[in-house]
Structure 1
Amino acid sequence: MGASVPGRYWHGLADGRVQCDLCPRECKLHEGQRGLCFVRARENDAIVLTTYGRSSGFCLDPIEKKPLNHFFPGSAVLSFGTAGCNLTCKFCQNWDISKARANDRLQQQASPEAIAQAALDSGAKSVAFTYNDPVIFLEYAVDVAAACQDVGVKTVAVTAGYIGEGARPEFFGAMDAANIDLKGFTEDFYRKLCTASLESVLDTLLFVKHETDTWLEITTLLIPGENDSSREIGALSEWVTEKLGQDVPLHFTAFHPDWRMRDISATPAATLKRARDIAASAGLRYVYTGNIRDEAGQSTYCYACGACLIGRDGYTITSWGLDASGHCTSCGEICPGAFEPDPDSWGPRRTPLVFAAV
């Protein structure tokens, strides 16, 4: 546990370097070098994952915090991450983890089987790979997902979707649900603030929606003056409607000053509510606001009759208008997602878990 393991998705180059193909960065490494993500390195002429079996911490969270509003609402999810990231977002809200060097934060160790059993024992419906991007620890995430599947626990990826074409099938094939960050809707935004590419993320969204059975929701963090114009929000919403479909839930969440953008003000609640109205006008049926207090913007409504299907006050379920098969109890229209006859009642609790030393 906690040792380097062989990595997948790489090839040797004619000049003697090794290229990592896991994400679109395609880091080209000499012996002993690490990729931008820091956790993938070249050792003995191959790529290895240096953080297998090690975590920055484990916690039981509400599933709505991921955010996932149509995937077993009200349930607990066992959340964990490692360290590092393959993006360089100046506005990162988890920078202490995503920007950490591997040994700075990885204080806990757990095997895939131990994580799956802990989720089962705690009553969590699912395990979420989150806090930092799970793409960079693909081998560990896929093994944990397999162990979870063996005991009937679902798996969730919270990711920026910056993953290579060759790795997408294995990674998302292991996930029951995913929330993918669509951070903005211009190449300039991705290049300037993330040193990444919008096109690669759009390709991932299209792949997950049309070539997998993974339940998909999308999050856009609105940053004042950067990606919050009505024009950009409208273009993003229209793309989601036309390319992914009206039923894909879209979450607009509030930025707060952090990492290298501490001089930018927090997102006003009015901006998120405006974005929600724009997305609804573009045809999206399930649009949510996050990181603010907004019961109307966080509840789920039947697109056909307008009845409240799932009332929410923050992370607490306040009402339930779905029947046992996920249909509106008022008009009978289906609500897309994964639901049980009655919601769980985990609520807003956040409960850290500590694994025994191994």
Structure 2
Amino acid sequence: MNHPGRHWHKLEDERIQCDVCPRYCKLHEGQRGACFVRMREADEVVLTTYGRSSGFCIDPIEKKPLNHFYPGTSVFSFGTAGCNLACKFCQNWDISKSRDMDRLMDQASPEEIARTAEQWGCQSVAFTYNDPVIFLEYAVDVAKAAHARGLKTVAVTAGYITEEARGDFYSEMDAANVDLKGFTDEFYVKLCGAHLQPVLDTLKWLVHETGVWVEITTLLIPGQNDSDEELTALSRWVAKELGTEVPLHFTAFHPDFKMPDTPATPPATLTRARKIALGEGLRHVYTGNVHDTEGGTTRCTGCGKALIKRDWYEILDYALDDNGACLACGTPLAGRFGHFGRAFGARRIPVAIHRGA
């Protein structure tokens, strides 16, 4: 099951350092990294989850969430086990924090995944549910197989990856939704067991030095990262360092994992955050995990017309041409677009891998 890993080197003290994420885990023989799935074996780093998944599903692309990447299309989604962050508020903790490898019941080669996604009519394949950075080799091979069949690829990630590994990983990604979990290092250290700066570095590199389409998500947790001051600083940084056209999603927290006593995010908090971000000049700011048509609607930056009206994952109206330009004034919308047919909707379809030729 174990697959040779990339991005590691041997240290003078005979330990091996994994160079995939900024944790730089230093491993003795048989020891696993903090992500749990990268391990030292036979004097090299191996990936223990290659070809093994926690399950496959067809989702709307809006669930990733991506609002400017082929809206209304379906995406073939899967993840593995493990994670390189330690978020106390993880909404997928049963997968990302799993130490039970038997949870990985579905096995599939990269080609089998790509073929099944194509047969189901999906336009893209998403690496999601847990962070694909930690299963880099598997994700890259699946992405290559998907591209060979004309499919797009999507990374749903915390962006916690090193400069050494990010070119390898993102070279095969067409889009990424990056979780910017908060905007203080204290938040990252106390609630995620990580640091803020590597995520900011990843975002700047993605937007300015690659062709990857980028959207950002911040899960707002009451009393932790939802103050006016922090939201203003975050929004101001995105506008200045990434540009005002990068979409920003504010999504609602629900009590889970190690924060069961923290209240759910009130819808008013999302509305307040969106107002702050729009006030800082961001053009595309969305609310998520709630029914909020105004907070889910994409508007033309030229004439202000509602281009894509949404209620959660449902598209209610669509007013773009095949090139992503406003039908009323011709102003192009930032993103990736094509012919819009019948929207996939809010369905979630569990899928079994189609094996064989």
- Offset at 1:340? 1.4
Measured in 2, the distance between the counterparts of 1:201 and 1:235 equals 15
Measured in 2, the distance between the counterparts of 1:143 and 1:102 equals 24
Q: Which residue of 2 aligns with 1:204?
A: 202
Letter of the structure 1 residue corresponding to residue 291 of structure 2: R
Contact 1:73 1:344 in 2 (8 A): no
Contact 1:51 1:102 in 2 (8 A): no
Q: What are the residue-to-residue correspondences of 1:29-44 with 2, within 5 Å?
A: 29-44=27-42
Aligned length: 356
Contact 1:109 1:357 in 2 (8 A): no
Contact 2:153 2:174 in 1 (8 A): yes
Distance 1:331 1:357, change over 3 A: closer
Q: Which residue of 1 aligns with 2:105?
A: 107
Letter of the structure 1 residue corresponding to residue 295 of structure 2: G
Measured in 1, the distance between the counterparts of 2:274 and 2:328 equals 24
1:168-216, Cα deviation, whole Å (9 max, x unpaired): 1111111000000000000000000001010000000011101110000
Stretches of 4+ moved more than 4 A in 1? none
- Offset at 1:320? 1.1
RMSD (Å), alpha carbons: 1.0
Q: Which residue of 2 aligns with 1:243?
A: 241
1:259-293, Cα deviation, whole Å (9 max, x unpaired): 00011000000000000010001010000000011
Q: Which residue of 1 aligns with 2:289?
A: 291
Query: Structure 2 regions of 5+ residues with no counterpart?
Result: none
Q: Which residue of 2 aligns with 1:161?
A: 159
113, 126, 129: which one aligns with 2:127: 129
Q: What are the residue-to-residue correspondences of 1:16-27 with 2, within 5 Å?
A: 16-27=14-25
Contact 1:52 1:140 in 2 (8 A): yes
Letter of the structure 2 residue corresponding to residue 154 of structure 1: K
1:214 lines up with 2:207 in the alignment? no
Name whichever of 87-96 and 100-109 sits farther off.
100-109
- Offset at 1:102? 5.0
79, 82, 91: which one aligns with 1:93: 91
Contact 1:38 1:102 in 2 (8 A): no
1:277-324, Cα deviation, whole Å (9 max, x unpaired): 100010100000000110110111112211000011221111111122
1:85-144, Cα deviation, whole Å (9 max, x unpaired): 000000000000000015141000000001111111000010000000000000000000
Identity over aligned pairs, percent: 64
Contact 2:176 2:213 in 1 (8 A): yes
Contact 2:8 2:45 in 1 (8 A): yes
Query: Structure 1 regions of 5+ residues with no counterpart?
Result: none
Q: Which residue of 2 aligns with 1:352?
A: 350
Q: Which residue of 2 aligns with 1:272?
A: 270
SS at match of 2:276: helix
SS at match of 1:118: helix
Letter of the structure 1 residue corresponding to residue 289 of structure 2: N
Name whichever of 301-310 and 17-26 sits farther off.
301-310
Q: Which residue of 2 aligns with 1:118?
A: 116
Q: What are the residue-to-residue correspondences of 1:140-159 with 2, within 5 Å?
A: 140-159=138-157
228, 231, 236: which one aligns with 2:229: 231
Name whichever of 256-265 and 335-344 sits farther off.
335-344
SS at match of 1:179: strand
Contact 1:80 1:130 in 2 (8 A): yes
Letter of the structure 1 residue corresponding to residue 40 of structure 2: R
Measured in 2, the distance between the counterparts of 1:125 and 1:8 equals 29
Letter of the structure 1 residue corresponding to residue 335 of structure 2: G
SS at match of 1:253: strand
Measured in 2, the distance between the counterparts of 1:343 and 1:194 equals 40
TM-score calculated relative to the size of structure 1: 0.98
Letter of the structure 1 residue corresponding to residue 318 of structure 2: W
- Offset at 1:357? 7.2
Measured in 2, the distance between the counterparts of 1:335 and 1:191 equals 37
TM-score calculated relative to the size of structure 2: 0.98
Letter of the structure 2 residue corresponding to residue 130 of structure 1: T
Measured in 2, the distance between the counterparts of 1:303 and 1:278 equals 18
Q: Which residue of 2 aligns with 1:313?
A: 311
